[in-house]
Amino acid sequence: MQLNKVGIGLIAFFGLGGLAVAVAPFFVGIPAEAAFTLVLLGGIWALTAFGLVLYARRQNRKAAHNDWIFRQGLRGTATVLSAGSSATVNEMPLMSLRLDLDVPGQGRREVKRREIMPVFAATRMEPGLVLPVYANPKDPNEFVLVW
């Protein structure tokens, strides 16, 4: 995942805006009570920007790790045993999948996975569907499902 223009804009808005709101009362000469409130508000905005940066870094590391598994992982198959959705995230279904995972060298086992996926992919998730999967050679519990 790469930080897009919207993400950079949000970080800049909250970071610079928070800094401006926190520092401005000292230059404008606002009464102490109002200045204290503005400094707290600016601090909250700056903390929000910091949180967004940490979230973006975490997502970047996660995406790089999944790419590594996709390139270096053991290729296997996952057969859908059951699939259902009871929630949506940004209008995309959060699928609860029960899979029969078969990866050479790691054996066959049943696993459960929750995945957010586009509607077109979610409508395909029916029992019996066989999907490619790439598993981490070092940790069989880590795998990338290709849907």
Residue 1 pLDDT exceeds 90: no
Rounded Cα distance between 80 and 117, Å, is: 15
Rounded Cα distance between 6 and 4, Å, is: 5
pTM for this entry: 0.73
Mean pLDDT of 48-77: 94
Q: What is the pLDDT of residues 74-122, one digit of tens each?
A: 999 999 999 999 899 989 999 999 999 999 999 899 999 999 999 999 9
Place of tokens 């790089």: 64
Mean residue pLDDT across the chain: 93
Q: At what angle do helices 5-28 and 32-72 cross, to 10 degrees?
A: 160
pLDDT band at 142 (very low <50, low <70, confident <90, very high): very high
pLDDT at residue 127, as a whole number: 96
Answer with the residue of higher pLDDT: 6 or 16: 16
Q: Provide the token pair at 85.
A: 């959705």
| Strands 143-145 vs 92-103: parallel, antiparallel or unpaired | unpaired
pLDDT at residue 2, as a whole number: 67
- The residue ranges of every structural domain in the chain are 5-70, 74-145
